[in-house]
Amino acid sequence: MKICIYGAGAIGGYLGVQLARAGADVSLVARGAHLAAMREHGLTLLAGEEKHTVYPRCTDNAAELGVQDYVIVTLKAHSITGVIEKMQPLLGPHTRIVTAVNGIPYWYFHKHGGDYENATLESIDPGGRQWRELGAERAIGCIVYPATEIEAPGVIRHVYGNNFPLGEPSGEISSDVQRLADFFVAAGLKAPVLDRIRDEIWLKLWGNVCFNPISALTHATLDVICTDPSTRALSRAIMVETQAIAETFGVKFRVDVERRIEGARKVGAHKTSMLQDLERGRPMEIDPLVTVVQEMGRLTRIPTPALDSVLAMVTQRARVAGLYDGVSSPSDPRALAVA
């Protein structure tokens, strides 16, 4: 099985080590000092007291790798449009693209049914390029739950978790998604195949849409956000707005708002990915985690006053810091394009 991990940072590196150890023909696309270290010394995973090093093909030029069975995209979601052309040599007639990214993926309305079937969202896929050039029909959904970090160039530290739920946009249990899930399991990962992958996407996004921007504005960790009465109330307000939007699209939440907040509180003094990006001077994932929910709210004509306020503030915060490279917040419901 030929698997390319495109964007082999912390999560991509973790997957790369596990899949290579299970016998997959793994290639990694990365850049900078991390790529140089992997080329020279291999890719090392530190997990508890265990240490594993593998030596997969590593490159910054996907054209060197040829057509793949699966391309697992572990880039930040706002970076995908910028590498569409570079990904093309990896794609053959049967290649599947696995979107292991945060937020709403580009293929969301593929096989969705209803009024928005085959629609694209400007905030996450400007001009519908990912839909057309990567192909919605190639997509397999993937939710990323593990926490990992790059401890040093070429060295990944696994913090906790190994769950990567998978699912076809159509909800079917295809041979492609089952084959990938089986290989994930052989690699020591959890990979349940879900017939309602969008429910799981929204369950994770439910927390990201509020905790991430609030943390970037306050520099507070999850335990503080979920304990302080004011930030907890603001989080709850955004989550209620988000739930109303998602349910309009047929999403079902398997926990309630309070349980979701409590789950985040129990994680402890954890810095969200958006706060980490802010502190490290990296572009923040505002559009795929927050703007897209606002856009979908405007499509369904559901007001989002709490989300609107926080989004305006965090976007301005990112612009002042030079860390915003996304699209402007879509203000017209007619901005939704049909592919």
SS3 of 299-321: HHCCCCHHHHHHHHHHHHHHHHC
Question: Is 151 buried (19+), middle (13-18) or exposed (0-12) by CB count in 10 A?
Answer: middle
**Cα 324 vs. chain centroid, distance in angstroms?**
17
Task: Indicate the angle between helix axes 273-280 and 197-218, nearest 10 degrees.
Answer: 40
> Is 204 among the residues known to form the active site?
yes
Written as six digits, the tokens of 159 are: 């913090």
In SS3 terms, 180-231 reads as HHHHHHHCCCECCECCCHHHHHHHHHHHHHHHHHHHHHHCCCHHHHHHCHHH
**Alpha carbon distance 2, 25 (integer Å):** 5
Distance CA 95, CA 138 (A): 7
Strand order in the sheet with 147-152: 50-54, 43-47, 155-160, 147-152
Residue with tokens 């926990």, as numbered in its chain: 255
**Token output for 256:** 């309630």
Distance between CA atoms of 266 and 246, rounded to whole angstroms?
Answer: 25
- Report the alpha-carbon distance of residue 8 to residue 27 in Å, rounded: 9
Question: Are the beta carbons of 134 and 97 closer than 8 angstroms?
Answer: yes
Nearest-10 Cα torsion for 218, 261, 76, 294: -80
Angle at the Cα of 266 from the Cα atoms of 211 and 214, rounded to 5 degrees: 15
Question: Choosing from 2, 111, 204, 271, which is the catalytic residue?
Answer: 204
Active site residue ranges = 204
